[in-house]
């Protein structure tokens, strides 16, 4: 029997895999030591767990364990990368290049740095949501110290031309930072093949616990240095002080291991169901996919339903299905999503957009139910719109 409500909002967060929970549990109880305690077995066990997890996390992205800095999540990792590089290389330059469709954790940090004297260029994207590498190269200045472009967009699932971007940054001798929160564990990533120098990602987007994340920091060719943003006991090689979240990190490591093992099969299954959902809903008139259908994550689609407000649509289905509004607007401002506006999506379409994101525990039965429910609800709402013509 189908259990309601269904969850189709895996880009927001994912449930903890039971296999991850099993690994974490001992570190809440018998192995509760502080990983920084060097004088007894409780600390040793905790330290060993952290080191093993560091190897698991590194293994997922083609890094080595000494290049992984544990954080509380991707937002902290974003802040550490941007602020840390800016402060460390302030004497060489103050120019950062990013894009208009970045996550708020990157955009808001860049705006904060502007108040401190940073010069930030915000690259536009095309109708698919892609950065043009030629425009990126043209934006460089003698003072450029960092390029910050996400790996995949959280609203549309569009995957950026990462290798082309890194080719430009390598040519210019500038660090390349990517927020890969939505991509790690969903598609293959290799920081060396991709030419990435700093990479941020989070445990809770990949069936691990909340409160754990990581920043990959390249150690050679080139070696990346940055200024710590949290001072204290000198944890994480002096880059990120604070007592480590051992249960969360252990779970994060296991989550990475599982993603590495199961990613290929999951992507195949979820892309088929995503396509089934998308194809069925696009049979409705005045319905459009936002973002790239060529370069995107396997489990995501963002669809606009004209003559329907996403708030009303979500209200109509929220007892049965959990999804997100692509418009990302507050009830007060009703402003459409800045990401969709950057793609050139008209305001009325952006306000009628829904992000569907599938995951490990999605079933085809759930997809079939969602198709019927959405078509039914959309048709009902459109009959109430005086501008709708069948």
Catalytic residue numbers read 329
| CB of 240 closer than 8 Å to CB of 71 | yes
- 215-222's contacts with Cβ under 8 Å and 24+ in sequence apart are 215/68, 215/69, 215/71, 215/77, 215/80, 215/81, 215/240, 216/58, 216/61, 216/63, 216/67, 216/68, 216/69, 216/191, 217/67, 217/68, 217/69, 218/67, 218/191, 219/64, 219/66, 219/67, 222/175, 222/197
The helix, strand and coil proportions of the chain, stated in percent and rounded to the nearest 5, come to: 40, 15, 45
* Strand ranges, E, within 299-342: 300-305, 321-322, 324-325
Task: Give the SS3 label for residue 314.
Answer: helix
Residues 6+ apart with CB under 8 A from 88: 225, 226, 227
8 A C-beta contact, residue 185 and residue 256: yes
Omega cis (within 30) before 5: yes
Bridge partners, 200 (sequence order): 179, 215
Tokens read off for 343? 């793609």
* 8 Å CB contact between 299 and 271: yes
Token representation of residue 15: 């449930």
Torsions phi, psi of 35, nearest 5?
Answer: -65, -15
| Cα–Cα distance list, 183 to 75, 167, 203, 224, 245 (Å) | 15, 20, 12, 22, 23
Order of strands, sheet of 68-71, starting from the edge strand that comes earlier in the sequence: 68-71, 213-217, 198-202, 175-179, 144-148, 95-99, 119-123
């Amino acid at each position: 029997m189908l259990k309601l409500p269904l969850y189709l909002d895996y880009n927001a967060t994912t449930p903890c895999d039971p296999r991850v929970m099993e690994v974490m549990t001992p570190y809440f109880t018998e192995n509760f030591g502080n990983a920084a305690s060097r004088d007894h077995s409780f600390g040793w066990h905790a330290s060993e767990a952290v080191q093993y997890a560091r190897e698991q996390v590194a293994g997922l992205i083609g890094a080595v364990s000494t290049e992984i800095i544990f954080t509380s999540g991707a937002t902290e990792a974003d802040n550490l990368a941007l602020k840390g590089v800016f402060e460390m290389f302030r004497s060489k330059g103050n120019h950062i290049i990013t894009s208009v469709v970045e996550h708020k954790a990157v955009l808001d940090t860049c705006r904060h740095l502007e108040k401190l004297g940073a010069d930030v260029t915000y690259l536009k994207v095309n109708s698919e949501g892609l950065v043009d590498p030629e425009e990126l190269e043209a934006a460089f200045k003698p003072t450029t110290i960092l390029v910050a472009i996400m790996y995949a967009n959280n609203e549309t699932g569009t995957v950026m031309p990462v290798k082309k971007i890194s080719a430009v940054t390598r040519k210019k001798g500038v660090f390349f930072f990517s927020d890969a929160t939505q991509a790690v564990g969903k598609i293959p990533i290799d920081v060396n093949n991709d030419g990435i120098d700093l990479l941020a990602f989070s445990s809770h987007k990949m069936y691990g616990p909340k409160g754990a994340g990581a920043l990959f920091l390249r150690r050679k060719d080139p070696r990346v240095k940055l200024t710590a943003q949290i001072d204290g006991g000198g944890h994480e090689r002096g880059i990120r002080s604070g007592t480590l979240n051992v249960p969360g990190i252990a779970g994060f490591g296991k989550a990475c291991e599982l993603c590495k093992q199961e990613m290929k099969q999951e992507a195949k299954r979820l892309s088929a169901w995503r396509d089934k959902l998308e194809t069925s809903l696009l049979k409705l008139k005045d319905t459009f996919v936002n973002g790239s259908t060529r370069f995107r994550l396997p489990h995501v689609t963002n669809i606009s339903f004209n003559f329907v407000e996403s708030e009303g649509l979500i209200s109509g289905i929220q007892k049965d299905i959990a999804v997100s509004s692509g418009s990302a607007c507050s009830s007060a401002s009703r402003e459409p999503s800045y990401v969709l506006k950057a793609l050139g999506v008209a305001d009325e379409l952006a306000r009628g957009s829904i992000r569907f994101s599938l995951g490990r525990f999605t079933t085809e039965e759930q997809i079939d139910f969602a198709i019927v429910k959405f078509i039914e609800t959309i048709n009902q709402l459109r009959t109430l719109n005086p501008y709708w013509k069948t």
